Amino acid sequence: DHRIIDGREAVGFLVKVKEGVENLETLLSEKDLGLA
């Protein structure tokens, strides 16, 4: 069933987006604190 494959890909994509946002927030907060 194509819905299972599409769903799995969508979840993987959302996980990558979430990780990217979290990493971006970490980089920005470190830069603001003068740690980077």
Q: Which residues contact 30 (CB under 8 A, 6 or more apart)?
A: 36
**2-31 per-position pLDDT tens digit:** 677 788 888 999 999 999 888 888 887 766
Amino acid 33 reads L
pLDDT, residue 16, reads: 93
Which carries the bigger pLDDT value, residue 36 or residue 17? 17
Domain residue limits, the chain = 1-36
Distance CA 13, CA 26 (A): 20
Residue 35 has pLDDT above 70, yes or no: no
Give percent of the chain with pLDDT exceeding 90.
Answer: 25
* 23-33: b (≥16 Cβ within 10 Å) or e: eeeeeeeeeee
Q: Is the pTM of this model over 0.85?
A: no
Q: What angle do CA 24, 27, 32 make, to 5 degrees?
A: 125
